[in-house]
């Protein structure tokens, strides 16, 4: 069975980049009939907060990304200790004593020589180790890479090969004994039987080191899929704009969750970026082969347009709980009249005022408006009323085309553009229509 995981850190709000990672994992799992696990990476006690953890649950629930199990890494420290001691017994971890300033100086010297900033393993020299231990320095612990080539077949990138001789031995445990990301991630993936790791391409190099840790711990190596990261419209990094692109801000701005899901699932793929009405539909279409190698461009204006398209497709049953009923007016008729003019569901309130008022009419042609008022037929009205009425007004006044329809729209709605009047007129009703054609606010 396919088992994937999403492991966010509760150190900030989920943004569109995080959401895309969660979504692609979820869609793949559901396509394959597998499991989607949520793992809260809260080992950074100084920055992790309960409020951000609760926000993660809230945001995933809003997107509809239900999980099949959850855990918090802070509860699993014993698992990481066991994994660390296993690596230590196998001679695959070693203590290092350099300060951050010393390491930075080493990196600067290598950069000046145009060499990669690879740690020189000075702590493995017995004389250095003895000297630093005598000074009372507390060690951090690194994993000793094999300094050989690691390869795998990536589900997005194809064959990948990385020479770990070009990498620094990764730090697994800090001087204060805290575990860093790498070891808990691998230990959890083994313990939770993760079969596929689906994440951004910024982790490709990490994967080479992690594969060696999987092997050193004797665990099965999962399959990997590294997708291109999100960038802005002009290719710029999104990091400086994430405050406005958190899921919380999108939700508060009235963007539909399925618009967000549709957009994040389809940008950067060979599929059309069009709204889908369910996560099940997106899951059925999911395929790693459709994900391109180029960065995916996140353009807020495109998301807004997609949100509008989604609303235009939705039946009333999908929004009935969120669209307040208007007194005496069937909800389905109202929704059918206005949905083609919505950008966000919050626009419904303005559309409701067109029906129930108050509307301050704009009288462009007083004579035409007066004649039109006199020719309004008795109720009941339906969508055919508009055509019959405007035909009669045209015959009486000689007005046609824009000269007929524009003055009537301004008088009835006070707007240059809006919903189809053949659908809106029966909802406005005869009394309000007469008053507005006479220039009265109603």
HEC-encoded secondary structure of 351-375 = HHHHHHCCCCCCCCCHHHHHHHHHH
Domain boundaries, the chain: 91-149+160-173, 317-442
Q: List, for residues 240-260, the tens digit of each pLDDT value.
A: 555 678 999 999 999 999 999
pLDDT value of residue 136: 95
Q: For 288-333, what is each residue's pLDDT tens digit?
A: 999 999 999 999 999 999 999 999 999 999 999 999 889 889 999 9
Q: Is 284 left (phi over 0), alpha (psi -120 to 50) or beta?
A: alpha
Kindly list the averaged pLDDT for each block of 10 residues, start to end, along the chain of length 442. Answer: 97 93 98 98 90 96 97 96 98 97 94 93 96 96 98 98 97 96 97 98 96 98 97 78 80 96 97 96 98 94 97 96 91 96 96 96 97 97 97 97 97 97 97 98 96
* CATH number, span 317-442: 1.10.10
Computed over its alpha carbons, how large is the radius of gyration of the chain? 31
The answer to whether 227 and 264 have CB atoms below 8 angstroms apart is no
Q: Which two tokens stand for residue 218?
A: 């004797």
- CA 186 to centroid of chain Cα atoms: 25
Task: Assign a CATH topology to domain 91-149+160-173.
Answer: 3.90.800
pTM of this structure: 0.93
Give the tens place of pLDDT for each residue, 55-91. 999 999 999 999 999 999 999 999 999 999 999 999 9
């Amino acid at each position: 069975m396919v088992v994937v995981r999403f492991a966010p850190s509760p150190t900030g709000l989920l943004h569109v980049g995080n959401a895309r990672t969660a979504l692609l994992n979820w869609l793949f799992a559901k396509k394959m009939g597998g499991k989607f696990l949520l793992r809260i990476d809260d080992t950074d006690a100084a920055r992790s907060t309960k409020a951000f953890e609760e926000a993660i649950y809230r945001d995933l629930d809003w997107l509809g990304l239900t999980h099949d199990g959850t855990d918090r890494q802070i509860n699993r420290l014993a698992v990481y200790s066991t994994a660390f001691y296993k690596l230590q017994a196998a001679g695959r971890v070693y203590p290092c004593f350099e300060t951050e300033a010393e390491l930075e100086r080493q990196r600067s010297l290598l950069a000046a020589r145009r060499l990669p900033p690879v740690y020189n393993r000075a702590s493995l020299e017995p004389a250095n180790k003895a000297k630093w231990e005598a000074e009372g320095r507390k060690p951090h612990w690194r994993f000793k890479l094999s300094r050989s080539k690691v390869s795998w077949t990536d589900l997005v990138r194809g064959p990948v090969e990385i020479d770990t001789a070009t990498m620094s031995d990764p730090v697994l445990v800090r001087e204060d004994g805290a575990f860093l990301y790498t070891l808990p991630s691998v230990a959890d993936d083994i313990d939770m039987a993760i079969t596929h790791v689906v994440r951004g391409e910024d982790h490709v190099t990490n994967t080479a080191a992690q594969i060696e840790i999987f092997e050193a711990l004797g665990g099965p190596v999962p399959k990997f899929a590294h997708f291109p990261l999100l960038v802005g419209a002009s290719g710029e990094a999104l990091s400086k704009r994430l405050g406005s692109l958190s899921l919380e801000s999108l939700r508060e701005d009235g963007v539909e969750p399925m618009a967000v899901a549709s957009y994040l699932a389809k940008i950067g793929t060979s599929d059309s970026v069009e709204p889908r009405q369910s996560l099940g539909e997106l899951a059925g279409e999911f395929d790693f082969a459709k994900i391109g190698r180029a960065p995916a461009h996140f353009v807020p204006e495109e998301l807004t347009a997609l949100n509008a398209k989604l609303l235009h497709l939705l039946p009333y049953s999908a929004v009935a709980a969120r669209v307040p009923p208007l007194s005496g007016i069937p909800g389905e008729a109202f929704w059918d009249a206005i949905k083609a003019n919505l950008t966000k569901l919050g626009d419904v309130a303005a559309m409701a005022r067109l029906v129930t008022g108050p509307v301050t009419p704009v009288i462009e042609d007083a004579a035409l408006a007066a004649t039109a008022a006199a020719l309004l037929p008795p109720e009941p009205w339906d969508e055919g009323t508009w055509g019959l009425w405007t035909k009669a007004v045209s015959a009486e006044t000689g007005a046609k085309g824009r000269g007929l329809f524009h003055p009537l729209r301004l008088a009835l709605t006070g707007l240059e553009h809006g919903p189809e009047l053949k659908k809106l007129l029966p909802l406005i009703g005869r009394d309000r229509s007469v008053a507005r054609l006479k220039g009265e606010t109603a």
